[in-house]
Amino acid sequence: MRALLIVDMQRDFCPGGALAVAGGDAILPVINRMMPHFELVVASRDWHPEDTVHFERWPVHCVAGTPGAEYAPELDSAPIAQEFLKGTDGADDGYSAFEATNEDLEAWLRTRQVDDLFVCGLATDYCVRATVLDALARGFRVHVVINAVAAVHPDGPPDGGPHALQEMKDAGAHLLHSAMIRAPEP
């Protein structure tokens, strides 16, 4: 089984938000077009407490229950079967969707016999990267949709978007364009 995981497509990460990623909104139509090709679509959300060590590193963003933590309005959220809330603890960053506390992402995927995890969303060099590396470490086949991610530091060094994509590839992720994705044969 294949699943699409949409990472952190939230208002605060899109232009106009508290921690906007350049081009964060440009990937939304790509994600909306991909969803019908998957039997399973899940999403993570950054869901922080008001007080967290995370905000020593980043501007305040995606505080649980606030408008900034909502999905970007243009995202078609209807196909999302389950969401995974992460960064909920005040003691760490919670970059990876596998750190979700409302549901166990790995167990959820395994119960549904998911072997192939397709990952898109924000941001390439933080939450996408951490999620992909965690998924690989747990034995999933991971596919990163390169035209459906965007980086906080798109121009790279030392640890921006291009470096993160290379790092994910080196760790075993398959990088592909959304045009390569088709619905499975019936």
Is 25 considered catalytic here? no
Q: In the window 58-87, what residues touch Zn ion (CB under 5 A)? A: 87
Decide whether 38 or 99 has the Cβ nearer to Zn ion. Answer: 99
Give me the least distance between CB of 58 and Zn ion, in Å please: 6
Site string for Zn ion, 32-51 (x = CB under 5 A): --------------x-----
What is the spatial distance between Cα 115 and Cα 53, in angstroms, rounded to a whole number? 34
Number of residues that bind Zn ion (CB under 5 A): 2
Which one of the listed residues 8, 12, 46, 134 is annotated catalytic?
8
CA atoms within 13 A on the CB side of 19: 23
Is 86 considered catalytic here? yes
What is the spatial distance between Cα 1 and Cα 12, in angstroms, rounded to a whole number? 32
Question: In residues, how long is the chain?
Answer: 186
Decide whether 25 or 46 has the Cβ nearer to Zn ion. Answer: 46
Concatenating the DSSP letter of every residue in 167-186 gives HHHHTTPEEE-GGG--PPP-
Decide whether 1 or 22 has the Cβ nearer to Zn ion. Answer: 22
- Nearest Cα residue to 40 out of 81, 77, 97, 7: 81
Cite the active site residues: 8, 86, 127
Residue ranges binding Zn ion (CB under 5 A): 46, 87
